[in-house]
Chain A
Amino acid sequence: MLPFDFDYYKPASLKEAIDLYQSKARNREKSMFISGGTELITLGRINLVHTEAVIDLKDIAECKVMQFEGDYLVFGSTLTLTKIEETNLFPLLTKTASEVADHTSRGKITLGGNICAQIFYRETVLPFLLADSQVMIVGPDGVKVAPINDIFKEQLQLKNGEFLVQLATDKRFIEAPYISIKRRQQWDTGYPLITVAALKMGEEVRVALSGLCPFPFRSKKVEDSLNNREWPINDRVDAALAELPRPILNDVEGSSDYRLFVLRNLLHDVLEGLGASF
């Protein structure tokens, strides 16, 4: 039961969506873009989200694409995770997405919604961070395209009135060897204790993490340590652990010390799994 009322709009074009947002802003009304809208409901019902207007992006054509354009695979932000999994164009994304929430919920949760979520795991961003994808954002200043690694700092840096439209990923990354492991507090249900996604480009291993810190990240320093072939594998992992961003989460899913213990083993598994452990 959402304890507030809002106006609901379902614009058919990018421009209409942006104009709506701006006209609401001019009236000092707070509005929110949604696509799956699961956080509007689950956080709204416990008073962690409030809005006076909801702008539903689901009908906008640009947000629904899923296709190759030249060497790039383009995903629209309002695609549901289930749809992405069933189509399976980007196996690493399929694997990482398939561990989010549960299957039925993923029929509602969208790619853009997950990447821009308030709940800080945002696991589906990991493959895009690894693949140096490009993001297309639209806002009052028009469309802009930027490398995700420039614009995703803990979360996608969106200005008021902007939203994510598409992500484009170079084919080379889609075909690269990968690993994605989600470790939970216990068994197969629940938020991540740690989710690790990794790609191997040539001899280089790329690693991105969720659930370790209160934000997902990919760290150049961590990767450099892991890829330092002059060191034995244990030292590489130790060095990587020393380069982690802070804070390390310490919550009901697990203590920070335990998370580091789990991460150490996961990094070994990643290097071994990608044949980079020698």
Chain B
Amino acid sequence: MSDLKLRVKEMIIERLKLEGMTPDQIEDEAPLFGDGLGLDSIDALELVLGIEQVFAVKIEDEAAGLRAFKSVQALTDFIAEQSKG
């Protein structure tokens, strides 16, 4: 697992208080919302704030969120891409 992806998973677990869950239990391609991790809109806001705090990357609007929150892999790519610029 890439270092960034591991940090993303750790941030998700910590921020959403997914107690008892470990990074390797979160599948890279599983959707974060709905069927995958089953997160809701309040969790989405927590993630937006967590991503800003931990990775200094802003999710400006819902369109960006829709792209970033597709999966852990998508979120990792999004953060990598945004922190380059």
Q: Do A and B belong to a common assembly?
A: no
Residues of B at under 8 Å CB distance from A? none
